[in-house]
């Protein structure tokens, strides 16, 4: 039982983790992309459609990543080149993503999905308890962990990470030193889009292998909240994502048990929990002010 | 080639007026492209989508029915966005307004007199305003991000509505359908003509006129715009950003709530599990297309209502999915935002050699 | 130790540029010719020639808006010229980017710094280096070089925690680590105490003696005379003169820069010792609003009717915080601030304005004025609640605002291309005249100004300073917060010095030497007991 719950927690946490780590990189570069939900849902529908049409889960995953990146490229063009308002453009991205996914997905409603195969590591997967939990996951779970480790390492130890942090901290200084602010930000936005697309693909190919309209159900927004919760530190994103994964699974089990609590109340728990978490973290001014990228959401137009 | 923005010394008045028009034109062009790619007659589809709904009386009336909530909500949102408060939870405030306003007819059907309707409207506006107060208070008290909080509350509001109409508020005589009982006549808004259009139309127009007066002529309007454009200058002027946050959220929440109860007491006549086809989100597009100007928002509300009816129209006549409507709406917001760049910048395309070399050519 | 010896040691025979005799025979390091750069319809640089010799400290002089920054950005590769060529050590080059400039051997120390507060000193420096190596080895190099040049730095410190003077060191050390041939310095002493400036000059002289040229941008003419070998003077984007500054006087240099005589501020009468106190701060303390802000500690100062009191200090020592506390943008205990004897520390800015106070903040755009609003709307910003009848029953009286805008424009000589433009389209000097004029036209009993002439051309600066003195002589109390010592000596009756949130007692200007102010800036103000200096006559400079 416990093992099964732990497995579902991992599955519930992975899309949040992927979307949040991508957005963390975007925000560290100084850009606020509120379109995570839109990119996720497009990843979900594209992943499902491609996997369904080609019969290949791998191609489905690549399609999901591509869809997220394509949408984020659109966002990047508007926000970085045309200097549009980041909040409004992010909202536009979400609205467009939700609309487009509904249109594309219409043909796939009720179509049985393709579930990603779990990696079966000989010997390791057969270990009791540890085996299925740690060595019996699908490849995206491992990818999510690898991406977090890579991002954490890159931010702290590599020159690319240093440049990214510099651009997010002070774009005017970065420009004066000759760093290409817009190029760095555009790459970060693309990375965030790829991660959000992958997160969506995971939803429709592994979490619940089917297409349902609006199936991301606000997870993109929760991922945005997780970045705040993590105060822009990668390893804290892991804690946050798994915490939220656990909340989701608990409400799911509580619904199964029933016990007189309205299902709608249980369903709203993740959203209420998000608000509570935001309040707890944000009221700590010192933590948020010190860690918030100083240029977050601010437009930059280089003089020439 | 690359795009270079050259900052204008001042806002371009020409572009301020022209940019929404260009955006609509570009949206129509893209929609045509979309229709063509899907293998339809693009010209015919465009006609069915954008023109036909305006050619007969019935659909014109439906247009107005849809435009009214959009205009009401968007007018409130314009106050929020002008003052740099990002309320994106109008959908939730709409639902909460509808719920609060329905308390009387659902729980106290015996209270059925001339006061019923005014009280319902009051409760509706109050319900929306109080619900919007949550993100506002959390923002000023705990520095919480109002975007995320207001959005989370949309899900909570929808689930609350779902719970009520399936549970305690369900019509006992309704064959287990998840609906409340139909409202009595005195709980319904008077209609204009004999269709679904109610007097809420007048309310929307009055609100737009009042708010545009407020913004253009009064000190409060000045305060709203100053705090939005430059918070530091606003505090130098002695205006309080926190009070403005509360004000803007309450106004927009109140108007969204009013729109909610008017929708229920106007065209629906009862609560159902879903009472809005995303008005609260579409109104965001309306607000931006109307460039946050309440009078222009009236026109913009009509344009976005057209996209709803147009979607139904192409589905009925050409078998194109009505999901196309939300795609068109999303594209429209993109184009609006992109075109607004022209107001502050001149756009220059640079061809040929650029200074991207990176190294000195010695 | 001047340029000619340095050049002679290298024994080269390039043709001398057209400059003064001291430069003959020196080797040309950089020659920019015909540099032209336009922004819209304005030519920021028009056909500018600049020749810098090896080992020379070369002054680039000019008023705000004369085109110095544009020229320097072009040399550093941050901007591309529309026309013109650059030769580096005799060969034509195109400086395509700052990285390209650095690989040539051109380093730059920015006026407002190009540092990242959230990063450490080593990280900041690594960002400008092509091959920084590991953080540990870089840290060692930073320690070594900074110690060698007498600019000690802790490579692991977070920039946010460092005072401005140290931040400039980071920029200088960053240049030094790249073995530069030319270092460009933009107004380097504007953030330093006089003593720190002296140390900087030693470093610069040492660099020059080692053959490294320095392009020194300043409008402080005494400094230029002291350390520079040659000067190029820009006015309205054109080179108007070249000279050997040691052969000039501050007056003659100023004339070349401005193109006309600038009237000196005339103070009609000295203030009366027994005049009533109109503005006071008493033991004013304020906790920092953000983790990186400066707390105010026991700030006490009084301004009497008829006098100008100036608060000197290096940027970032609590000036902004003090201004906010005095205006009411941040509240304190009631008795900490009084206006005309009334405690008002608990009152907001509007209430203090109604008591007759007026304020001019440091930042014109975005604090003193809304950039995208027309000037008439910007009048409403500070005058909506003062007794001018601009708002009636909640409605704005647009006619009256328009009249007032025209009046201010006329009296304070605010120049604009058309009627009632948006604030951001005005030049710095014109907007400052408008912002100051908006407050002056009320005849406020108390005026508090933060950096009255920062980034303003000489003509506008003179007009504003005269207006401040005139207002005080009519019986108002004027408090000026400024980093510009020349300005302070020009207008102040008494001077106090702020340092890390502590304020020294205000003393008569004549008793305050530059040296003493420098000591107070460097932390003497914190002791609060610095002995009064012997009274010396005419302590002021130019």
Q: Inter-chain contact C291–A286, Cβ cutoff 8 Å?
A: yes
Contact C153, C167 (CB under 8 A): no
Which pLDDT does position A133 carry in this prediction?
63
Contact C339, C355 (CB under 8 A): yes
- Rounded mean pLDDT of A124-153? 80
**E strands present in C70-198:** 83-88, 91-93, 106-109, 182-186
- Rounded mean pLDDT of A144-159? 95
Instruction: Compute φ and ψ for C283, nearest 5 degrees.
Output: 45, 45
**E strands present in B179-224:** none
Sequence-separated (6 or more) residues with CB below 8 Å from residue C369: B233, C378, C381, C423, C431, C434, C435
- Rounded mean pLDDT of A156-163? 95
Contacts of B153 in chain A (CB under 8 A): 271, 275
Is the pLDDT reported for residue C250 higher than 90? no
Chain C nearest CA to A85, separation (Å) = 16
Q: Inter-chain contact A289–C116, Cβ cutoff 8 Å?
A: no
Is the pLDDT reported for residue C4 higher than 50? no
Query: Number of Cβ pairs closer than 8 Å across B and C?
Result: 107
pLDDT grade for A302, boundaries at 50, 70 and 90: confident
Looking at A95-104, A205-214, C270-279, C458-467, which range is the least confident one?
Answer: C270-279
What does the pLDDT look like over C258-277, one tens digit per residue?
Answer: 877 666 777 666 767 788 99
More confident residue, C538 or A204: A204
| A172-198 core/surface letters (b: 16 or more CB in 10 A; e: else) | bbbbbbbbbbbebbbbbbbbbbbbbbb
Query: C56-77+97-105+180-258 has which CATH code?
Result: 3.40.50.300
Instruction: Compute φ and ψ for B170, nearest 5 degrees.
Output: -65, 145
pLDDT grade for C346, boundaries at 50, 70 and 90: very high
Q: Inter-chain contact A166–C119, Cβ cutoff 8 Å?
A: yes
pLDDT grade for C14, boundaries at 50, 70 and 90: very low
Share of chain B above pLDDT 70, in %: 97
Is the pLDDT reported for residue C405 higher than 90? yes
Locate A185 and state its tokens: 């930000």
Share of chain A above pLDDT 70, in %: 92
Q: Hey, is the C-beta of A228 within 8 angstroms of any chain B C-beta?
A: yes
Which pLDDT does position B360 carry in this prediction?
37
Which pLDDT does position C525 carry in this prediction?
65
Which pLDDT does position A219 carry in this prediction?
95
Q: Specify the DSSP class assigned to residue B174.
A: S
Q: Specify the DSSP class assigned to residue C188.
A: G
Chains that touch C (3 or more CB pairs under 8 A): A, B
Give chain B's mean pLDDT: 92
Contacts of C88 in chain B (CB under 8 A): 360, 362
Q: Hey, is the C-beta of C97 within 8 angstroms of any chain A C-beta?
A: yes
Q: How many CA atoms lie within 13 A of B137 on its CB side?
A: 7
Residue of A nearest to B356 (CA): A180
Which pLDDT does position C8 carry in this prediction?
37
Q: Inter-chain contact A288–B143, Cβ cutoff 8 Å?
A: yes
Which pLDDT does position C161 carry in this prediction?
85
Is the pLDDT reported for residue A136 higher than 90? no
Is the pLDDT reported for residue A130 higher than 90? no
Which pLDDT does position C24 carry in this prediction?
56
- Rounded mean pLDDT of C508-517? 90
Contact C119, C158 (CB under 8 A): yes
Nearest residue, CB atoms, A169 vs list C97, C108, C118: C118
- Starting at the edge strand found earlier in the chain, the sheet holding C57-61 runs C106-109, C182-186, C213-218, C57-61, C230-235, C238-243
ipTM: 0.91
pTM given for the model = 0.90
Is the pLDDT reported for residue C528 higher than 70? no
Which pLDDT does position C532 carry in this prediction?
43
Distance CA C199, CA C184 (A): 17
Contact C196, C522 (CB under 8 A): yes
Contact B111, B104 (CB under 8 A): yes
Is the pLDDT reported for residue A68 higher than 60? yes
Which pLDDT does position A295 carry in this prediction?
94
Distance CA B314, CA B321 (A): 8
- Rounded mean pLDDT of A206-228? 92
pLDDT grade for A116, boundaries at 50, 70 and 90: confident
Does domain B2-107+114-350 match CATH 1.10.150? no
Give chain A's mean pLDDT: 90
What does the pLDDT look like over A266-294, one tens digit per residue?
Answer: 889 999 999 999 999 888 877 777 788 99
pLDDT grade for C534, boundaries at 50, 70 and 90: very low
What does the pLDDT look like over B211-228, one tens digit per residue?
Answer: 999 999 999 999 999 999
Which pLDDT does position C271 carry in this prediction?
67
Distance of CA C117 to the CA centre of its chain: 20
User: Which residue, C94, C40, C37, is CA-closest to C67?
Assistant: C37
Looking at A154-163, B95-104, C410-419, C428-437, which range is the least confident one?
Answer: C410-419
Q: Inter-chain contact A286–C110, Cβ cutoff 8 Å?
A: no
Contacts of A95 in chain B (CB under 8 A): 281, 284-285, 326, 329-330, 333
Chain A nearest CA to B243, separation (Å) = 19
Q: Inter-chain contact B238–C371, Cβ cutoff 8 Å?
A: no
What does the pLDDT look like over C133-160, one tens digit per residue?
Answer: 888 999 999 999 998 888 889 999 999 8
Is the pLDDT reported for residue C162 higher than 50? yes
Query: C266-356+445-542 has which CATH code?
Result: 3.40.50.300
Question: Given its phi and psi angles, is residue B10 left (phi above 0), alpha (psi -120 to 50 degrees) or beta?
Answer: beta
Q: Hey, is the C-beta of C6 within 8 angstroms of any chain B C-beta?
A: no
What does the pLDDT look like over C186-223, one tens digit per residue?
Answer: 888 888 888 888 989 999 999 999 999 999 998 788 88
Nearest 5°: CA angle at B10, between B7 and B11?
95
Which pLDDT does position C536 carry in this prediction?
38
Which pLDDT does position B327 carry in this prediction?
94
Through-space distance between the first and last CA atoms of chain B, rounded to whole angstroms: 25
Q: Within chain A, what is the greatest distance between any pair of CA atoms?
A: 66
Instruction: Compute φ and ψ for B141, nearest 5 degrees.
Output: -90, -45
With 0-12 CB in 10 A as exposed, 13-18 as middle and 19+ as buried, what is C538?
Answer: exposed
Chains that touch B (3 or more CB pairs under 8 A): A, C
Domain ranges of chain B: 2-107+114-350
Instruction: Compute φ and ψ for B77, nearest 5 degrees.
Output: -65, -35
Is the pLDDT reported for residue B358 higher than 50? no
Domain ranges of chain C: 56-77+97-105+180-258, 266-356+445-542, 368-443
Nearest residue, CB atoms, A106 vs list B88, B142, B323: B323
Q: Inter-chain contact A264–B162, Cβ cutoff 8 Å?
A: yes
More confident residue, C502 or C1: C502
Chains that touch A (3 or more CB pairs under 8 A): B, C
Nearest residue, CB atoms, B145 vs list A92, A98, A228: A228
Which pLDDT does position A252 carry in this prediction?
79
Q: Hey, is the C-beta of B330 within 8 angstroms of any chain A C-beta?
A: yes
- Domains of chain A (ranges; CATH) run 2-117+124-291 (1.10.3470)
Which pLDDT does position A120 carry in this prediction?
63
- Rounded mean pLDDT of B110-117? 92
What does the pLDDT look like over B122-174, one tens digit per residue?
Answer: 999 999 999 999 999 999 999 999 999 999 999 999 999 999 999 999 998 88
Count Cβ atoms below 10 Å from residue B17 Cβ, excluding itself.
12
Chain C nearest CA to A73, separation (Å) = 26
Which pLDDT does position A113 carry in this prediction?
78
């Amino acid at each position: 039982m416990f093992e099964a719950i732990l497995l579902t927690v991992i599955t519930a946490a992975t899309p949040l983790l992927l979307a949040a780590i991508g957005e963390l990189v975007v925000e560290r570069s100084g850009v606020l992309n509120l379109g995570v939900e839109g990119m996720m849902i497009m990843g979900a529908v594209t992943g499902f459609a491609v996997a369904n049409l080609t019969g290949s889960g791998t191609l489905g995953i690549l399609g999901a990543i591509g869809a997220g990146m394509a949408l984020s490229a659109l966002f990047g063009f508007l926000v970085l080149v045309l200097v549009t308002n980041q909040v409004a453009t992010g909202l536009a991205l979400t609205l467009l993503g939700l609309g487009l996914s509904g249109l594309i997905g219409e043909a796939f409603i009720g179509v049985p999905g393709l579930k990603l195969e779990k990696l079966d590591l000989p010997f390791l997967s057969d270990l009791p308890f540890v085996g299925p939990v740690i060595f019996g996951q699908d490849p995206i779970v491992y990818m999510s962990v690898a991406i977090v480790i890579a991002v954490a390492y890159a931010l702290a130890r590599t020159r690319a990470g240093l440049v990214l942090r510099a651009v997010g901290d002070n774009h005017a200084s970065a420009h004066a030193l000759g760093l290409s602010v817009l190029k760095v930000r555009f790459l970060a936005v693309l990375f965030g889009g790829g991660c959000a697309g992958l997160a969506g693909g995971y939803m429709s190919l592994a979490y619940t292998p089917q297409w349902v309209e609006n199936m991301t159900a606000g997870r993109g927004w929760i991922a945005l909240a997780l970045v705040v919760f993590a105060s822009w530190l990668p390893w804290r994103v892991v804690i946050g994502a798994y915490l939220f994964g656990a909340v989701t699974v608990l409400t799911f089990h509580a619904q199964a048990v029933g016990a007189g609590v309205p299902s709608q109340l249980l369903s709203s728990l993740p959203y209420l929990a998000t608000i509570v978490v935001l309040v707890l973290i944000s009221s700590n001014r010192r933590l948020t002010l010190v860690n918030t990228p100083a240029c977050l959401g601010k437009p930059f137009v280089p003089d020439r | 080639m690359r795009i270079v923005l050259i900052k204008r010394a001042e806002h371009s008045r020409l572009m301020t007026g022209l940019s929404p028009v260009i955006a609509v034109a570009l949206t129509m062009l893209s929609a045509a492209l979309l229709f063509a790619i899907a293998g339809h007659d693009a010209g015919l589809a465009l006609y069915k989508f954008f023109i036909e709904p305006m050619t007969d009386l019935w659909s014109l009336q439906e247009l107005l029915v849809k435009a009214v909530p959009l205009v009401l909500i968007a007018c409130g949102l314009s106050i929020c966005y002008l003052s740099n408060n990002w309320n994106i939870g109008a959908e939730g405030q709409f639902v909460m307004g509808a719920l609060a306003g329905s308390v009387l007819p659902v729980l106290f059907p015996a209270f059925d007199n001339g006061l019923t309707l005014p009280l319902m409207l009051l409760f509706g506006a109050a319900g929306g305003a109080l619900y919007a107060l949550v993100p506002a208070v959390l923002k000023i008290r705990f520095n919480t991000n109002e975007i995320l909080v207001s959005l989370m509350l949309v899900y909570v509001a929808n689930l609350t509505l779902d719970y009520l109409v399936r549970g305690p508020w369900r019509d006992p005589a309704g064959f287990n359908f998840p609906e409340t009982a139909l409202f009595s006549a005195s709980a319904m808004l008077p209609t204009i003509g004999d269709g679904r259009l109610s007097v809420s139309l007048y309310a929307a127009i009055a609100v737009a006129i009042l708010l545009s007066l407020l913004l253009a002529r009064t000190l409060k309007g000045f305060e709203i715009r100053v705090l939005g454009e430059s918070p530091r200058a606003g505090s130098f002027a002695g205006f309080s950003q926190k009070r403005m946050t509360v004000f803007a959220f309450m106004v927009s929440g109140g108007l969204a709530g009013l729109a909610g109860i008017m929708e229920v007491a106007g065209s629906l006549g009862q609560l159902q599990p879903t009472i809005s086809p995303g008005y609260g989100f579409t109104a965001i597009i309306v607000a931006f297309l109307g460039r946050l100007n309440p009078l222009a928002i009236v026109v913009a509300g009509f344009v976005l209502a057209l996209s709803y009816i147009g979607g139904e129209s192409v589905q009925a006549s050409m078998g194109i999915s009505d999901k196309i409507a939300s795609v068109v709406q999303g594209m429209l917001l993109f184009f609006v935002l992109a075109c607004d760049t022209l107001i502050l910048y001149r756009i220059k395309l640079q061809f040929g050699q650029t200074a991207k070399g990176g190294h000195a050519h010695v | 130790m001047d340029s000619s010896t340095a050049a002679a040691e290298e024994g080269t025979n390039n043709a001398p540029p057209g400059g003064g005799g001291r430069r003959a025979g020196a080797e040309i390091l950089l020659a920019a010719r015909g540099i032209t750069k336009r922004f819209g319809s304005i030519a920021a640089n028009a056909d500018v020639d600049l020749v810098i010799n090896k080992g020379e400290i070369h002054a680039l002089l000019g008023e705000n808006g004369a085109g110095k920054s544009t020229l320097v950005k072009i040399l550093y590769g941050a901007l591309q010229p529309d026309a013109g060529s650059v030769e580096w050590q005799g060969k034509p080059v195109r400086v395509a980017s700052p990285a390209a400039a650095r690989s040539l051997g051109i380093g730059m120390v920015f006026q407002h710094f190009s540092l990242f507060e959230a990063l450490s000193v080593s990280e900041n420096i690594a960002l400008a280096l092509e091959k920084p190596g590991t953080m540990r080895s870089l840290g060692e190099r930073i320690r070594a070089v900074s110690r060698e040049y007498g600019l000690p730095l802790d490579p692991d410190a977070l920039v946010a925690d460092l005072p401005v003077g140290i931040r400039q060191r980071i920029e200088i050390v960053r240049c030094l680590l790249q073995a530069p041939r030319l270092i460009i310095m933009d107004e380097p002493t504007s953030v330093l105490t006089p003593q720190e400036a002296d140390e900087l000059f030693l470093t610069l002289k040492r660099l020059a003696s080692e053959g490294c040229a320095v392009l020194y941008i300043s409008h402080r003419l005494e400094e230029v005379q002291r350390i520079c070998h040659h000067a190029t003077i820009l006015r309205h984007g054109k080179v108007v003169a070249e000279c050997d500054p040691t052969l000039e006087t501050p007056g003659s240099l100023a004339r070349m820069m401005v193109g006309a005589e600038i009237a000196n501020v005339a103070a009609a009468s000295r203030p009366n010792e027994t005049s009533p106190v109109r503005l006071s701060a008493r033991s004013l303390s304020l906790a920092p609003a953000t983790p990186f802000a400066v707390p105010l500690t026991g700030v006490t100062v009084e301004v009497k009717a008829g006098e100008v009191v100036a608060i000197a200090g290096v940027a970032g020592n609590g000036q902004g915080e003090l201004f906010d506390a005095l205006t009411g943008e941040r509240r304190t205990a009631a008795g900490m601030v009084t206006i005309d004897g009334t405690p008002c520390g608990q009152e907001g800015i509007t209430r203090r304005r109604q008591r007759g106070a007026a304020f001019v903040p440091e930042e014109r755009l975005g604090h003193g004025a809304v950039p995208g609003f027309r000037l008439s709307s910007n009048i409403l910003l500070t005058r909506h609640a003062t007794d001018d009848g601009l708002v009636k029953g909640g409605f704005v009286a647009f006619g009256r605002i328009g009249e007032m805008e025209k009046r201010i424009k006329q009296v304070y000589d605010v120049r604009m291309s058309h009627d009632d433009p948006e604030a951001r389209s005005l030049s710095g000097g014109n907007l400052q005249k408008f912002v100051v004029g908006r407050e002056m036209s009320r005849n406020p009993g108390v005026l508090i100004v933060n950096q009255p002439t920062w980034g303003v051309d000489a003509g506008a600066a003179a007009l504003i300073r005269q207006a401040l003195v005139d207002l005080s002589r009519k019986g108002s109390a004027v408090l000026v917060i400024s980093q510009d010592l020349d300005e302070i000596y020009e207008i102040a009756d008494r001077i106090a010095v702020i340092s890390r949130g502590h304020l020294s007692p205000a003393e008569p200007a004549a008793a305050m030497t530059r040296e003493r102010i420098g000591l107070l800036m460097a932390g003497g103000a914190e002791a609060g007991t610095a002995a009064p200096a012997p009274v010396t006559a005419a302590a002021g400079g130019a």
